[in-house]
Structure 1
Amino acid sequence: MIEGYVHRESVIAGSTLRMHVSTDAADFRIRCYRLGRELVFMGESGPYSGVWSPPPPHPDGDPEHASPAEAWGWPAYGLPVPEHWPPGIYLAHLAHLVEGGTAEGTADSAADSAAASGESGGEIDGIEGFEREFFVVRPRMPGRTARILYKKSTFTRHAYNQSNRTGLVRASSLYEHPVYQEGGDGPAGEPRGHKLSMHRPGGVIDLAYWDAPFIAWLERAGYDVEYCTDLDLHADPELLAPYDLLLSVGHDEYWSAAMRERVAAFTRGGGNVAFFSANTCWWRVHPVDGDTAFVSDTDHQVGDAYPHLPATDLWWQPAPDGVGEPENTLTGVSFRNGGMWPGEWPGDRPRAGYTVQHAGHWVFEGTGLRDGSDGGRPDALGAGTPLIGYECDGAAFAYDETGTARATGADGTPGSFLILGLYLLDPVHEDFHQLKWGHWNCPAREREITGPRAATMGIHTSDEPGGGTVFTAGTTDWPVVCGRETDPAVVRVTRNVLDRLGRRDPSRPAGR
Structure 2
Amino acid sequence: MTVYAYAESTSRAQGERLVFHLDHTSRAPLSGSVSVEDVASGRRVLDAAFNGPRWTLDIPGDWTSSLYRAIFTVSPRELMPTSEPAVSPRELMPTSEPAVSPRELMPTSELAVSPRELMPTSELAVEEGDCEVYFAVRAARPSSPILLSIPFPTWQAYNRAGIPGEGLYWAEHPTRAARVSFDRPGGGPPPERWEEGMIRWLEPAGYDVDYCSGLDLHDGRELLAGYRLLVVNGHDEYWTAGMRDTVEEFVRRGGNLAVFSGNTCWWQFRLEDGGRTMVCHRDAAADPVAATDPALTTVEWSSSPVDRPENSMIGVSFRRGAGTWGPYMQRMHDESYVVRFPEHWAFAGTGLGEGDKFGRGALGYETDACDFVEIDGVPAATGRDGTPPSFVILATADLRHWHRYGQGGMATMGAMRLGAGTVFTAATVNWGNALHEPHVERITRNVLDRLSASGDGWEVIGSAGALRAMSVLGSVLYGADADGMLLTRELSGQNLRWRRGGSTPGVTALAVPREATPARPIGLYGLTGDGRLVYREPDGSWTTLLDDAPAGATGLATVNGELFAAASGTLWHRSAEGDRWEPIDTLPGMTALTSTNGRLYATDAAGRVRTRLPLGVPAEWTDLCDAAGAAVLTAHAGRLIATGPGLPLSWRACVPDPAPSS
Given the two structures, how large is their TM-score scaled by the length of structure 2?
Answer: 0.58
In the alignment, which of 254, 262, 278 is matched to residue 278 of structure 1?
262
The equivalent position to 2:346 in structure 1, one of 355, 360, 363, is: 363
Residue 424 of structure 1 corresponds to 398
Q: How far 1:504 moved relative to its partner?
A: 2.7
Distance in 2 (alpha carbons) for counterparts of 1:21 and 1:223: 35
Alignment pair present for 1:242 and 2:226: yes
Flag the 1:474–1:97 CA change in 2: closer, same or farther, 3 A. Answer: same
Given the superposition, is the C-alpha separation of residues 338 and 206 from structure 1 closer, same or farther in structure 2, using an over 3 Å criterion? same
Q: Take 1:177 and 1:351, find their aligned partners in 2: how far apart are those partners?
A: 28
1:261 CA displacement: 0.7
Q: Secondary structure at the match of 1:32?
A: strand
Map Cα deviations across residues 323-359 of structure 1 (whole Å, 9 max, x no partner).
1111001000000010211324854335231110111
Alignment of 1:244-323 (within 5 A): 244-299=228-283, 312-317=297-302, 321-323=304-306
Q: How big is each residue's C-alpha offset from its partner over 1:244-269, in whole Å with a ceiling of 9 and x where there is no partner?
A: 00000011111000111111111111
Q: CA RMSD in A?
A: 3.4
1:403 aligns with 2:403: no
Match of 1:31 in 2: 35
Match of residue 68, structure 2, among 90, 107, 110: 90
1:339-378 correspondence runs (5 A):
339-344=322-327, 346-349=329-332, 351-371=334-354, 378=355
Q: Sort the Cα spacing of 1:300 and 1:428 in 2 relative to 1 into closer, same or farther, 3 A.
A: farther
Q: Is the 8 A contact 1:345 1:390 kept in 2?
A: no
- Distance, in Å, in 2 between the alignment partners of 1:178 and 1:80 is 42
In structure 2, what is the equivalent of residue 44 of structure 1?
47
1:13 Cα deviation after fit: 1.5
**1-structure distance, mates of 2:248, 2:47:** 40
Give runs of aligned pairs for residues 17-166 of structure 1, distance below 5 A: 17-23=18-24, 24=26, 26=29, 27-36=31-40, 38-49=41-52, 75-98=53-76, 101=79, 121-122=120-121, 131-141=131-141, 143=142, 145-162=143-160
Give per-residue Cα distances to partners, 1:471-506, cap 9 Å, x unaligned: 000100001111xx1x11001100110011112316
Q: Note the alpha carbon deviations across 1:154-187, whole angstroms, 9 max, x for none.
A: 11111001189xxxx8994100499989xxxxxx
The residue number in structure 2 matching 1:455 is 411
Residues 163 and 202 in structure 1, CA contact (< 8 A), matched pair in contact too: no
Q: Is the 8 A contact 1:33 1:39 kept in 2?
A: yes
Distance 1:9 1:289, change over 3 A: same
Residue aligning to 2:356: 379
State how far apart, in whole Å, the 1-side matches of 2:431 and 2:171 are: 31
**1:493 correspondence with 2:465:** no
Assess, with a 3 A threshold, how the Cα gap between structure 1 residues 205 and 256 changes in structure 2: closer, same or farther. Answer: closer
Partners of 1:322 and 1:414 in 2: how far apart? 21
SS at match of 1:213: helix
| 2:309 matched residue in structure 1 | 326
> Which of structures 1 and 2 has the larger relative contact order (alpha carbons within 8 angstroms, sep 6+)?
1
2:166–2:180 CA contact under 8 A, matched in 1: no
Unaligned runs of 5+ in 1: 50-74, 104-118, 182-192, 303-307, 372-377, 437-452
Structure 2 residue identity aligned to 1:48:
N
| 1:168-226, Cα deviation, whole Å (9 max, x unpaired) | x8994100499989xxxxxxxxxxx8111111111644387122221111000110100
Report if aligned partners of 2:32, 2:80 keep a CA contact under 8 Å in 1. Answer: no
Counterparts of 1:221 and 1:128 in 2: how far apart (Å)?
31
> In the TM superposition, what is the alpha-carbon distance from 1:507 to its structure 2 partner?
5.1
* Structure 2 spans left out of the alignment, 5+ residues: 82-117, 461-492, 494-650, 652-662
Percent of aligned pairs with the same residue?
36
The secondary structure found in structure 2 opposite 1:18 is strand
Deviation at 1:78, TM superposition (A): 1.6
TM-score by length of 1: 0.74
Change in CA separation of 1:124 and 1:83 when aligned onto 2, cut-off 3 Å: closer
Partners of 2:165 and 2:276 in 1: how far apart?
A: 20
CA distance in 2, matches of 1:480, 1:397: 27
